[in-house]
Amino acid sequence: MKTISQLSQTTIRDHLNGSGLGLCSGPFNILITSSLPAIASGIQTLYANFPYTDSSDFFDFHVNIDTPKTIRRWYRPKVYFSVDGKRPFKPLPKNHALAVLEWGLNWCIANQAHQYLMIHSAVVEKNGIACILPGPPGSGKSTLCAALVANGWRLFSDEMALIEIESGLLVPNPRPISLKNQSIEIIKNYWDGATIGPKSYGTDKGTVAHVAPPVASVLRQFDKCLPAHVVFPKYMAESPVTVKPLSKSQTLIQLVESCFNHNGLGKTGFIGLSDVVDRCGCHTLTYSRLDEGIHAMEQLKAPPHV
Amino acid sequence: MSNLVIEAYRNPEAATLFSLKAWDTFVRQSRKANLLASFYTIFENHGLLDKIPSKPKTHLQAAHRFADKHATDIRWEIDKLSKAFDQLEQPLVLLKGAAYLAAKLPNCTGRVFQDTDILVAETALTKVENKLNQHGWYQAQITAYDERYYRRWSHELPPMRHLQRKSLLDVHHRIVQPTASLNPSTTKLLNSIQQLPASNVFTLAPTDMILHSIVHLFNDGEFDHALRDLIDIDQLIRHFNTDLKLPGKLVDRAEQLDLERPLYYAMRYLRLVFDAGYADEGECIHVKQKPNAVLIRLMDHLFINAIEGHHPSCERKGADLARWCLYVRAHYLRMPLHRLIPHLLYKAFQTESH
Amino acid sequence: MDQLSSTYRLCPDVLIKRWGNEAVVFHSASSDLYHLDEFSTCILARLDKQTLSHAQLIDAIQSHYQVDNLDQLKQQLTDKLNNFIRSDLVEIETI
């Protein structure tokens, strides 16, 4: 399969400036156009292992990220993200372009991909045991996710679980893992050989940087898998590592609350999430040290019926 | 690229021959026109779903699923309204999307709309407003200017929002603004309402429902969804035209309700855009109300541009200007010029400052 | 409403997911979500299967719980049912 790493930076720029660069990201084909060098180099760094397709294909999202053709180009330059000509957010500073692209793609998926139940969570898999790690911002979900991936877990997503409604299967969509503030240094020190993109300073979320998904996760980005566990991670300074069972009904309530499109799917959504809870072991994980958290995750066995 | 939405609507079979690239354009055009979910139903009804490549089919299914839930929400809203109206000696008369949904009309599937619209006799407004307050609907927060505008010049109360459910309700006492040059009588409309089976919910009579949809398209100035609205009208007419006498009835009713000019335009563009066979009759009968040739040429240019060029992939030069002209025209139809200009200026200024 | 001549049933838009003594109820039209206590689970799980009268519900609860004060139980059930009706979870079917 043709991957982005086989393209020169000039070719990537030409595509982005012309009819678009067709990125195959899990179940989504994304056609990206942009005249910004930061986007070209960011894609080359973070999406190197991803396949691409030519512009005559079907694309799920047509996205553009550019500076407007006004004075804004020079004076406090800003970038707009647009999907099929529509701009869902306010413009943001130009040096956040790469982060804006990632947020924009998340927006596209969350707003259109209702063929899936979408849960705000990280998803990782090892030895056929896939774990859904829901967590609000600040729970340390992305940091733990990056550390698990550094330890050979397969990345499905650091941001949302995509669950096929008919089959209940988790659909991988490994994209760059978003790290914030101190997490960037923590992961840089923890994960030898991690490919970390440029930092965006002073965003709404503080300093943001993205880690490229490992090639093994990208190679298997079309291999779906049933979920085995739902684990609610919580980073707590100085805390010993503890894994506690969480009741099924509590888990379901929390999943409904973390589900982006539960209201939009109605009965189908509730039945789908109930099936996830039925199928999975349900736990909370409190940790302060990444190694202990990972060790606890590796002790999780497949529930009897998976 | 041409307008594939119109092509697929006129001949759903033709869509099965689309290339992947054409499907890509079709999905984007349909999404923009708010028709993606409707096309799922159209393809389903024609037994064509299996012939659609999986990628575009996924988008149709996802939109369909979402619209389906939206329909459940609106039915729930109608149920709540009917409970409030049970305590009034007033019929609950649904308009537009809510009416299509309650009456299970073919164009109800796949609509996603924000507000529920109802029609109430002007004399009953206070009573209805009070009852709705008791059931949790309150006026949404609007500016004092908008409030005055609504109360004085509009054909509806300021929009109401339910305290818990946050859903929006528009209470109309006329189907066009009191200042408009057209003057369809609400009493005549209310005298021919039709009760839906096993409920206390009413809709307008079929002819009136169609005429309302037409007035909404040609006089409301919201041309972003012109294509969707025209398809609505076509679906309604085809549904009710079982005895092939509907066009004649529409002409008669339009005369009674003072809506001949909009009907003329609707029939004209249904014929020009969809090649609708029934439209000839409706268009030709009332020659006396026909606009002059120059005006027709101008309107053809504006409407066809606005309807066919709804997405960048099929946009023609001047489509934005055409939509703007239609917006001003719609306001001109609703308000006398000396009120219109200050209103548009105020609105333009407001948009700018946001 | 006369309780003796009425039967109760779950509203059509309501889904209930139960694990033992705990359950979650979802109202698919209003999107309201409820985490049920044991007593409520006991009532709604039964109404999920069939339409029941007040008396039949009392029997069902008695088979599940040790009940000392029957009058108190009846009152509790009435209050609960009224609550459910207000929340559009349960509707009355008058014979």
Q: Interface pTM (ipTM) of the complex?
A: 0.92
pLDDT at residue B77, rounded to an integer: 92
Q: Say whether A115 and B61 touch across the interface (CB within 8 A).
A: yes
Q: How far is the C-alpha of B271 from the C-alpha of B268, rounded, in Å? A: 5
pLDDT at residue B307, rounded to an integer: 80
DSSP strand E in B180-302: where?
194-195, 201-203
Q: Say whether B73 and C13 touch across the interface (CB within 8 A).
A: no
pLDDT at residue B353, rounded to an integer: 44
Q: How far is the C-alpha of B270 from the C-alpha of B230, rounded, in Å? A: 7
Report the residue of chain B nearest C29, measured CA to CA.
Answer: B73
Q: Is the pLDDT of residue B323 over 80?
A: no
pLDDT at residue B124, rounded to an integer: 92
Q: Which residues of A touch B (CB under 8 A)?
A: 29, 56-60, 62, 84-85, 112-115, 165, 261, 263-266, 268
Range B19-45 average pLDDT: 95
pLDDT confidence bin for B352, thresholds 50/70/90: very low
Q: Say whether A270 and C26 touch across the interface (CB within 8 A).
A: yes
Q: Is the pLDDT of residue B319 over 90?
A: no
Report the residue of chain A nearest C32, measured CA to CA.
Answer: A263
Interface A-C, measured as beta-carbon pairs within 8 A, has a size of 36
Give me chain C's average pLDDT, please: 89
Is the Cα dihedral A13, A17, A20, A26 positive or negative?
Answer: positive
Does pTM surpass 0.90?
Answer: no
pLDDT at residue B179, rounded to an integer: 62
Q: How far is the C-alpha of A306 from the C-alpha of A236, rounded, in Å? A: 31
Angle in degrees, CA B76, A163, A257, rounded to 5? 50
pLDDT at residue C93, rounded to an integer: 83
Q: Say whether B72 and C28 touch across the interface (CB within 8 A).
A: yes
Q: Say whether C29 and B165 touch across the interface (CB within 8 A).
A: no
A261 vs B290, which has greater pLDDT? A261
Q: Which two three-digit tokens encode residue A11?
A: 């070719």
Which residues have CB under 8 Å from A237's CB, separation 6+?
A: A288
Question: For the sheet containing C52-53, what is the strand order?
Answer: C52-53, C6-10, C90-94
Closest to A268 (Cβ–Cβ): which among B19, B59, B65? Answer: B65
* Residue A66 CA: distances (Å) to CA of A39, A60, B315: 9, 20, 22
How remote is the C-alpha of B340 from its chain's centroid?
23
Q: For a pLDDT cut of 70, what percent of chain C falls above it?
A: 93
pLDDT at residue B342, rounded to an integer: 59
Q: Is the pLDDT of residue C30 over 50?
A: yes
Which residues have CB under 8 Å from A45's CB, separation 6+?
A: A195, A197, A212
Range B53-69 average pLDDT: 94
pLDDT at residue A162, rounded to an integer: 98
Angle in degrees, CA C29, C32, C36, rounded to 5? 130
Q: What share of chain A is helix, strand, coil (3-state, %, to 5)?
A: 35, 30, 35
How remote is the C-alpha of A118 from its chain's centroid?
12
Range B211-237 average pLDDT: 86
Report the residue of chain C nearest B167, measured CA to CA.
Answer: C30
Q: Are B327 and B223 in contact, with CB atoms under 8 Å apart?
A: yes
pLDDT in tens, chain A (306 residues): 799 999 999 999 999 999 999 999 999 999 999 999 999 999 999 999 999 998 889 999 999 999 887 666 666 789 999 999 899 989 899 889 999 999 999 999 999 999 999 999 999 999 999 999 998 877 889 999 999 999 999 999 999 999 999 999 999 999 999 999 999 999 999 999 899 999 999 888 899 999 999 999 999 999 999 999 999 999 999 999 999 999 999 999 999 999 999 988 999 999 999 999 999 999 999 999 999 999 999 999 887 654
Q: Which residues of A touch B59 (CB under 8 A)?
A: 60, 112
Q: Which residues of A touch B57 (CB under 8 A)?
A: none
pLDDT at residue A7, rounded to an integer: 95
Q: Is the pLDDT of residue C4 over 60?
A: no
Question: In a mutagenesis test of the B interface, which of C11, C30, C33, C87 is the best target, namely the one with the most B β-carbons within 10 Å?
Answer: C30
A250–chain C Cβ distance below 8 A for any pair: yes
Report the residue of chain A nearest C24, measured CA to CA.
Answer: A249
Of all helices (H) and strands (E), which one includes residue C34?
A: strand C32-36
Q: How far apart are the first and last CA of chain B?
A: 35
Q: Which residues of B touch C85 (CB under 8 A)?
A: none
Q: Are B288 and B282 in contact, with CB atoms under 8 Å apart?
A: no
pLDDT confidence bin for B258, thresholds 50/70/90: confident
pLDDT at residue A282, rounded to an integer: 97
B123–chain C Cβ distance below 8 A for any pair: no
Q: Are A196 and A209 in contact, with CB atoms under 8 Å apart?
A: yes
pLDDT at residue A97, rounded to an integer: 93
B65–chain C Cβ distance below 8 A for any pair: no
Q: Say whether C13 and B76 touch across the interface (CB within 8 A).
A: yes
A268–chain C Cβ distance below 8 A for any pair: no
Q: Are A114 and A264 in contact, with CB atoms under 8 Å apart?
A: yes
Range C22-50 average pLDDT: 92
pLDDT confidence bin for B325, thresholds 50/70/90: low
Q: How far is the C-alpha of A172 from the C-alpha of B236, rounded, in Å? A: 43
Residue B287, amino acid: V
Q: Of B197, B162, B141, nearest to B76 (Cα)?
A: B162
- Indicate left, alpha or beta for C76 from its phi (over 0: left) and psi (-120 to 50: alpha): alpha
pLDDT confidence bin for B354, thresholds 50/70/90: very low
Least confident of A55-59, A133-137, B141-145, B182-186: B141-145
Q: Which residues of C touch A249 (CB under 8 A)?
A: 17, 19, 22-24, 35-36
Q: Say whether C19 and A256 touch across the interface (CB within 8 A).
A: no
Q: For a pLDDT cut of 90, what percent of chain B falls above it?
A: 46
Of all helices (H) and strands (E), which one includes residue B211?
A: helix B206-219
Angle in degrees, CA C79, C83, C88, rounded to 5? 145
* Residue B129 CA: distances (Å) to CA of B75, B83, B174, B189: 21, 14, 15, 20
Q: Of B16, B95, B31, nearest to B66 (Cα)?
A: B31
B76–chain C Cβ distance below 8 A for any pair: yes
Q: How far is the C-alpha of B59 from the C-alpha of A37, rounded, in Å? A: 32
Place of tokens 């439209």: B279
Q: Of A257, A270, A274, A263, nearest to B69 (Cα)?
A: A263
pLDDT at residue A81, rounded to an integer: 96
Q: Which two three-digit tokens encode residue A98?
A: 């790469």
How many other C-beta atoms can be found within 10 angstroms of the C-beta atom of residue B164?
A: 8
Q: Is the pLDDT of residue B346 over 70?
A: no
Q: Which residues of C touch B165 (CB under 8 A)?
A: 30
pLDDT confidence bin for C1, thresholds 50/70/90: very low
